[in-house]
Amino acid sequence: MRLTDCYNFHDFRRMAKRRLPGPIFDYIDGGADDEVTYRRNTAAFEACDLVPNVLRGVAEVDMSVTVMGQKLAMPVYCSPTALQRLFHHQGERAVAAAAAKHGTMFGVSSLGTISLEEARRISSGPQVYQFYFHKDRGLNREMMARAKNAGVQAMMLTVDSITGGNRERDKRTGFAIPFKLNLAGMTQFAIKPSWAIDWLTHERFRLPQLENHVKMDGGTLSISRYFTEMLDPSMSWDDVAEMVREWGGPFCLKGIMSVEDAKRAAEIGCSGIVLSNHGGRQLDGSRSAFDQLTEIVDAVGDRIDVMMDGGVQRGTHVLKALSRGAKAVGLGRYYLFPLAAAGQPGVERALETMRTEIERGMKLMGCTSVSQLSRRNLRFRS
């Protein structure tokens, strides 16, 4: 299977599955518990129909949006995700370059595998730094200061991960960083030698944002242990309010799902929120972000930028979210599978495919700008 044979999310997923060892593919692909929320995230879009208008003069279409003071050339961005060099040796370098080429936002994670500073050198375009609230308050302050010094415009604090989700696929293979696999996991690596060669012939794996605080040599940092042992479950609204004041710029909370929390985010001075259930990887059975959009936009959409992620696989999914009031839509697995399959060319092809789908969809909807999308364009089936 070649990259030129990939026309949609499912094609990229199949190509990534052929290349990646099973434990790594499952780390990207899997969700929590029975993966009900993971599946529901995409299914939620299917219960919503688009109602197009015609004869509106759509020769030129403007897909740009402004989010947290940053202008994006299209209304999607690459959500910050962890461990990207595990999927392909280019990792965040590929994503930063592809996002810059398409004029959109990307983010580096606390568990990112290149440094904030390197990401900033690759792309001077819109960028966020996604971080977690650690028990070590000095580490939290250091992360914000480092991001500011690197020239990052916006901070994105993930608030739905004070403990790790129950990701049973990872448990079955013993997935951890550094690798500490069981026999089933090791067998999966043995049958995908091209990935192993790629891994062994490039620079060693690092977590630059954490390497002064987490020992990677002589021990194993499992992802679940990171969430369980390093993150602070006592994090409160007062803690976040202090961070918002200390940062003094665009500050976003990722993982908001309730109206009450959205209102509180606005009250403490946040400039944006991302409706998210972490791709179905945390609380299984939670509501999809798309289903929750309307009531949160109605509650706070006139005060802060409301974004969403989860389950987005098509340009029409993006149009539906924008019509419900989202300012922009985050992509996760949508670009991770192309990254795993083909590195930077894969991410570029995926973003170009999404750009083309959104532009085509807007023309077929009779809209020349994102601002013309509204709930009048939607109908819901019971």
User: What sign does the dihedral 221-154-355-53 (CA atoms) show?
Assistant: positive
Q: Is 213 a catalytic residue?
A: no
CA-nearest of 84, 104, 79 to 94 is 84
* Cα–Cα dist 2/292, whole Å: 38
Position 137, amino acid? R
CA distance 7 to 28: 20
Whether cis (ω within 30° of 0) applies to the bond prior to 80 is no
State the Cα–Cα distance between residues 63 and 72, nearest whole angstrom.
8
Inter-helix orientation angle 36-46/289-300, to 10°: 70
Residue 198 identity: D
Contact, 150 vs 120, CB < 8 A? Answer: yes
Q: Which residues contact 182 (CB under 8 A, 6 or more apart)?
A: 173, 174
Whether the Cβ atoms of residue 285 and residue 336 lie closer than 8 Å to each other: no
The position carrying tokens 């740009």 is 64
Catalytic, out of 89, 102, 134, 278: 278
Active-site positions?
A: 278
